[in-house]
Amino acid sequence: MTALFIAIAALLTLLVVAWVVRPLLRPAPQAGVSSQRLNAAIYRDQLETLERDLARGAISPADYEATRDELQLRLLDDTEEPATAPQTSASFWTARRTAAVVALVLPLGGAGLYWWLGTPQAIDPARAAQAEVDKVMQMVDGLAARLKANPDNPKGWVMLARSYKVMGRLPEAEQAFAKVGPLLDTDPDLLADYADLLAARSGTLDGQPMVLVNKALALNPVHPMALMLAGTAAYRQGKFADAARHWEKMLAVLPPGSPDIEELQSYIADARAKAGLKPATAAAPQAAQTKPEPARPADASASVSGVVDLDAALKARAAPDDVLMVIARVPGTRMPVAVLRTRAADLPLKFTLDDSLSMSPQARLSMATEVDVEARISKSGMAQPEPGDLISAVQTVKVGTRGLKIHVAKVRP
pLDDT one-digit tens code per residue, 106-134: 777 777 777 676 665 555 555 655 666 66
Model confidence band, residue 361 (pLDDT cutoffs 50, 70, 90): low
Same domain, 165 and 242: yes
Peptide bond into 348 cis (omega under 30): yes
Q: Which residue has the higher pLDDT, 39 or 288?
A: 39
Among 16-20, 198-202, 291-295, whose mean pLDDT is lowest? 291-295
Distance (Å) of CA 83 to CA 48, 86, 88, 175, 210: 31, 8, 10, 92, 105
Same domain, 91 and 218: no
Same domain, 256 and 135: yes
Among 8-12, 121-125, 385-389, whose mean pLDDT is lowest? 121-125
Q: Which residue has the higher pLDDT, 3 or 293?
A: 3
Question: Average pLDDT of the chain?
Answer: 79
Is it the case that residue 76 has pLDDT exceeding 60?
yes
Q: Is residue 299 part of a domain?
A: no
For the residues 382-403, what does the mean pLDDT come to?
89
Same domain, 257 and 173: yes
Beta strands in 48-128 (DSSP E): none
The pLDDT assigned to 363 comes to: 72
Is it the case that residue 33 has pLDDT exceeding 60?
no
Same domain, 263 and 161: yes
Is it the case that residue 284 has pLDDT exceeding 80?
no
Instruction: Say if residues 157 and 180 touch (Cβ distance below 8 Å).
Output: yes
* Identity of the highest mean pLDDT range in 7-11, 27-31, 116-120, 298-302: 7-11
Q: Which residue has the higher pLDDT, 375 or 106?
A: 375
Same domain, 333 and 406: yes
Same domain, 157 and 232: yes
Q: Is residue 188 part of a domain?
A: yes
Instruction: Say if residues 174 and 201 touch (Cβ distance below 8 Å).
Output: yes
Q: Is residue 156 part of a domain?
A: yes
Q: Is residue 266 part of a domain?
A: yes
Is it the case that residue 298 has pLDDT exceeding 60?
no
Share of the chain above pLDDT 70, in %: 78
Same domain, 87 and 147: no
User: From the CB of residue 213, how many other CB atoms can be counted at a distance below 10 Å?
Assistant: 29
The pLDDT assigned to 337 comes to: 85
Range of the structural domain that residue 186 is part of: 129-274
Domain count, the chain: 3
Model confidence band, residue 359 (pLDDT cutoffs 50, 70, 90): low
Cα dihedral sign, 12-14-17-22: negative
For the residues 233-257, what does the mean pLDDT come to?
88
As a whole number of angstroms, the distance between CA 70 and CA 75 comes to 9
Query: Three-state DSSP class for 1?
Result: coil
Q: Is residue 124 part of a domain?
A: no
Same domain, 204 and 249: yes
Strands 304-310 and 404-411: parallel
Model confidence band, residue 288 (pLDDT cutoffs 50, 70, 90): very low
Query: Three-state DSSP class for 353?
Result: strand
Q: Is residue 9 part of a domain?
A: yes
Q: Is residue 288 part of a domain?
A: no
Confirm whether pTM is higher than 0.75: no
For the residues 37-45, what does the mean pLDDT come to?
72
Task: State the number of CA atoms in the 13 A half-sphere of 101 facing the CB.
Answer: 7
Instruction: Say if residues 406 and 374 touch (Cβ distance below 8 Å).
Output: yes
**Of the residues 86, 117, 148, the one at which a domain ends:** 117
**Of the residues 117, 144, 177, the one at which a domain ends:** 117
Model confidence band, residue 376 (pLDDT cutoffs 50, 70, 90): very high
The pLDDT assigned to 29 comes to: 55
CATH number, domain with residue 246: 1.25.40.10
Same domain, 331 and 402: yes
Is it the case that residue 281 has pLDDT exceeding 70?
no
The pLDDT assigned to 14 comes to: 78
Same domain, 235 and 331: no
Model confidence band, residue 362 (pLDDT cutoffs 50, 70, 90): low
